[in-house]
Amino acid sequence: MRSLWKTLDRALLRDIALVNLAIGVVGLSFGAIATSSGFPLWVPMLMSLVILSGAAQFTLVGVLAAGGGPVAGVLAGLVVGARHLPFGFAVGGLLGPRRWQRLVGSHLMIDEVVAFALAQSDPRRARAAYWACGVALIICWNIGTLIGALAANIVPDTDAFGLDAAFPAVLLALVLPSLREAGPLRAALLGGAVALATAPLLPEGVPVLLALVGLLVVGKLRTGESEVRT
């Protein structure tokens, strides 16, 4: 494991640091929202350690704060977190052979971590990027949550500062370089169209899952083209 860190260069470390700085800001927003919604400090802190999924945590807190029951909140969080299933197929080989590596690595399987890993062409570099970003993320996310929870009385309305936009902005910045290729661009456009069309009709989180149809269609087309050539 130690030898993996030698594959990280300054440019990659800088990008990982900048993204996790934004993640810390989003964690600040979550901590402030959770505490201002009436939850004690230990609740958002425990969620950030155990769940470690911004979208699922925001969804769970939103449902409970609106008067929904724990079961409804958990189910909503599970729907949002279902996107991690295809993540596992994509990066499962990067976690390592040992059981503890697979357990810890699975816990760190967050959008930004997966995006950094898949952006690397070399497997060793991809594995190093995965672990470096994952370790930095869990630290920054929990520090941000703690600061936000403690400062909830000072910043009662986090949306007024645009903190809610930091999370999608980070994901967009990670995805943009891949859109230079025709395949990922087609998948993104098709998936985006499906998500926009179904957003007014379906519960929150489901349109994002349906957007994965873009990957399936483009992958099927590529498979068909390969069979025709052979």
Q: What is the value of pTM for the model shown? A: 0.69
Residue 144 pLDDT: 92
Residue 215 pLDDT: 60
Which residues, in sequence order, are CB contacts of 124 under 8 Å at separation 6+? Answer: 4, 7
**pLDDT, tens digit, 9 for 90 and up, residues 13-61:** 888 898 898 888 888 888 888 888 889 999 999 999 999 888 788 878 8
Long-range contacts of 202-205 (CB under 8 A, 24+ apart): 203/76, 203/79, 204/59, 204/76, 204/80, 205/55, 205/59, 205/76, 205/79, 205/80, 205/82
Radius of gyration of the chain (CA): 19
Q: Considering only CA atoms, which of 31, 52, 86 is closest in space to residue 208?
A: 86
Residue 134 pLDDT: 93
Asked if the model's pLDDT at residue 100 lies above 80, the reply is: yes
Asked if the model's pLDDT at residue 160 lies above 80, the reply is: no
Instruction: Share the mean pLDDT of the chain.
Output: 78
Residue 228 pLDDT: 46
Asked if the model's pLDDT at residue 74 lies above 70, the reply is: yes
**pLDDT band at 135, cuts 50/70/90?**
very high
